[in-house]
């Protein structure tokens, strides 16, 4: 049912990625009122012509160019994207940019609180789901996966324990591929068994 004239319903999307070992959120710089000149989460007013999830998905595609990602409704929506796939919208007005979650300025509409709730939710879900698949490429090293976990959880993890936990959970599997990084010997590449949400 479309919203009536006396109400205003909007959806906002918390789009998270990990780059350079830090959890980042995609924000837009507001060039019009209200809250002009401040950073805010992307979103849009809902006119009832599509579902809220369809609106969230459309905003995600508009801002990042990607659609096949992990998307979940919180009291808003949050999405996990693999940063190298993202192609940010190139408009001067409402220009999007990645900002580190652990060093955000005061945002419009109390969006800092929304982002922290989304980060906490993702961190909690790392224990019992495979949702990290949304933050890594199709094939990855265990070190790359560990960096993602550490960025979300905001703490270092023991390398051996992390490896044991990931392999025993049955959510990732080794591939026949290896990747050389620097002077080190080639690292084994892994992939998620499923790139759809799985509860352990």
Same domain, 65 and 141: no
Helix (H, G, I), strand (E, B) or coil at 69: coil
Whether 132 maps to a domain, the answer reads no
Q: How many domains, the chain?
A: 2
Whether 92 maps to a domain, the answer reads yes
pLDDT at 91: 63
Instruction: Write the pLDDT tens digit of every residue in 28-43.
Output: 888 888 888 999 998 8
Q: How far is CA 28 from CA 25, 52, 76, 90, in A?
A: 10, 20, 16, 11
Report the CATH number at residue 71.
3.90.79.10
Under the banding of pLDDT at 50, 70 and 90, the label for residue 8 is low
Most confident listed range (80-89, 91-100, 141-150): 141-150
In 10 A of CB 143, how many CB atoms?
Answer: 12
Query: 31 lies in which domain range?
Result: 9-125
Contact of 135 with 148, CB cutoff 8 Å: yes
pLDDT at 111: 93
Does the pLDDT value for residue 84 go beyond 90? no
In 10 A of CB 31, how many CB atoms?
Answer: 12
ω into 34 cis (within 30 of 0)? yes
Backbone angles phi, psi at 146, to 5 degrees: -65, -40
């Amino acid at each position: 049912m479309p919203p009536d004239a006396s109400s205003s319903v909007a959806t906002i999307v918390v789009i998270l990625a990990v780059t350079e070992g830090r959890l980042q959120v995609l924000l837009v710089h507001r060039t019009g009122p209200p809250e002009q000149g401040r950073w805010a989460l992307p979103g849009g007013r809902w006119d009832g012509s599509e579902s809220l999830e369809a609106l969230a998905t459309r905003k995600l595609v508009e801002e990042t160019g990607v659609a096949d990602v992990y998307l979940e409704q919180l009291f808003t929506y949050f999405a996990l994207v693999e940063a190298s796939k993202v192609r940010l919208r190139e408009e001067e007005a409402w220009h999007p940019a990645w900002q580190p979650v652990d060093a955000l300025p005061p945002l419009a509409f109390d969006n800092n609180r929304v982002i922290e709730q989304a980060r906490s939710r993702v961190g909690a879900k790392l224990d019992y789901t495979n949702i990290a698949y949304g933050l890594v490429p199709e094939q990855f090293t265990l070190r790359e996966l560990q960096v993602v976990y550490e960025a979300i959880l905001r703490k270092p993890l023991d390398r051996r324990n992390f490896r044991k936990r990931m392999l025993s959970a049955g959510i990732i599997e080794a591939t026949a591929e290896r990747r050389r990084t620097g002077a080190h010997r080639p690292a084994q590449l892994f992939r998620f068994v499923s790139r759809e949400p799985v509860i352990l």
